Every structure is written in C-alpha cells, then in structure tokens.
Amino acid sequence: MPHRHRPRSIGALVASALLALAATAPRAEEARLGLPADMAARMAACTACHGEQGRAGTDGYYPRIAGKPADYLYHQLLNFRDGRRQYAPMTWLLENLPDAYLRDIATYFSEQHPPYPPPARANVPAATLARGEQLVRQGAGQGQPACAACHGADLAGVAPAIPGLLGLPRDYLLAQLGAWQSDTRRTPAPDCMAHVAKAIAPQDVAAVAAWLSSQPVPPGYEAREAPDLMLPLACHGVPQRGEAQP
C-alpha cells in the first residue's frame, strides 16, 4: 500500500501495535501473560483498521480481508513483514510476528464471511465502464490476459491463493494497480501481477477500477476450488497443474 494515506489515528495505531506485539509471545506463555485465547480478540489489531470480521474499513482505503483465500492473505502478510509491500504501519505491526502466527491470522480471516455492502456508483462515462468490463473479461490482447483468466470467470478468486476482485473500493484498486506499476507492491518472482499491471495504460487502470468497484457481489461469493488451474502466467505462491503446494 502506498504511503500517502495516514492511519486513522495515532491512538488507534498505538493500541493496535500493543495488541500485535503482545501476540508475539510464545503460545505456551499466553495463559501466564493473560493474553486472550479467543481469535477474535487476538485479531483486534487487524479489525481496528479493516473493520469487524475484516469486512473493510469505513474510509474506502483499508480493504476487505474477510473471506479471502488463506494462502493469499498469508503471502500478503509475509510481503508486508518482509518489505515487499510498502505501508509502514503494517510492517511495524508484523515485523516481530513469526510465520506460524501470520498463518493463524490468514486462516482466521479466510473463514469470516460477513455480508458485503452495496457497491458504490461509478460516476464515469458508460464507455469507461464498457472498456473496464472488456479488460476484466477479455483482456487487452497482445498477450495481456483478462482479469478473469486468473481470478475466475465470476471474479470470486481461486483457492488457495488467488483473491476475488469484487467488493473492493475504487480508490483501493487504483492504489494497488499503481503500487505494482511503481514496484512499491511486489511478490517474490515470478511476480505475475507486476507484469500485467505495468502493461496497462493509465486510462485502462481507471476503467478496470471503476467497473470492478461498481459491480454487486452475488450471493455465495467465495473463492472457487480449481485444483487443475492453468494460469496464463506463472505466479508466485500459486501452484500450476501437477505442482506441489508451496
């Protein structure tokens, strides 16, 4: 995430940091230290910004993390902790957390399924929305795949590591596509999203974000199981057909 947004308040950030740092204590020490055993209480550092159950913040910047595939969430936590995603408060909260605890966080939020709010109206020309839908469903040609080629025909994501694209704010989508283009959001190689994002023209980035953010989320919107998925590009953390899970 880019640096241009500030966390909601210093008080909330400090409270979140204290909770996160407390969570770094070894599991055997939790009872002695009086740490909460309930995962919802442990995740208070996350829901302070990402909303109850991870349903999204109220400002359109902190995205929904509820219901995202567990491996996707886990890899993003690793990326923040290890400096491949640039947002200082997230790195600060995660820098002392071990892999096992990050896996617990990812698993917890992957199992949360609060309802989605209605989409925001996209105040853009109809032609922009039509272009966005074309790019999402068909791609731009010349070897540039459609969003649906990886994220699924219904854009719900593919387990275990590809997220859904609906139910995200337009500003967040714009920020993340921009972050891939500027290398402030990365994954270990092969970084398929960086490859795709850097080939998209600015007006097309705006069209994709406008169309995705304006779509209603259908009932039962969850990542699909696709054990034989063949992606148009190799992506870190997403096994191709016949490969073992990372």
Q: What is the CATH number of the domain that holds 191?
A: 1.10.760.10
Q: Is 133 left (phi over 0), alpha (psi -120 to 50) or beta?
A: alpha
Does the residue 28 lie in any domain? yes
The arithmetic mean of pLDDT across residues 179-201, rounded, is: 93
Does the residue 145 lie in any domain? yes
Rg (CA), the chain: 18
The answer on 136 and 185 residing in a single domain is: yes
Q: How confident is the model at residue 15 (pLDDT cuts 50, 70, 90)?
A: very low
The reported pTM is 0.81
What does the alpha-carbon distance between residue 19 and residue 92 come to, in Å, rounded to a whole number? 12
The answer on 91 and 159 residing in a single domain is: no
- Per-residue confidence (pLDDT) for residue 11, from 0 to 100: 46
- The domain in which residue 195 lies consists of 126-225
Does the residue 133 lie in any domain? yes
The answer on 101 and 131 residing in a single domain is: no
The answer on 165 and 90 residing in a single domain is: no
What does the DSSP 8-state code read for residue 242? T
The answer on 104 and 16 residing in a single domain is: yes
> Which tens digits make up the pLDDT trace of 65-99?
999 999 999 999 999 999 999 899 999 999 999 99
The answer on 208 and 130 residing in a single domain is: yes
> Which tens digits make up the pLDDT trace of 27-42?
554 454 344 567 878 8
The answer on 143 and 68 residing in a single domain is: no
Extract the tokens encoding 235. Answer: 């992506």
Domain total in the chain: 2
The answer on 101 and 17 residing in a single domain is: yes
What does the alpha-carbon distance between residue 80 and residue 94 come to, in Å, rounded to a whole number? 7
The answer on 15 and 92 residing in a single domain is: yes
Does the residue 236 lie in any domain? no
> Which tens digits make up the pLDDT trace of 110-147?
999 999 999 989 899 999 999 999 999 999 877 789 99
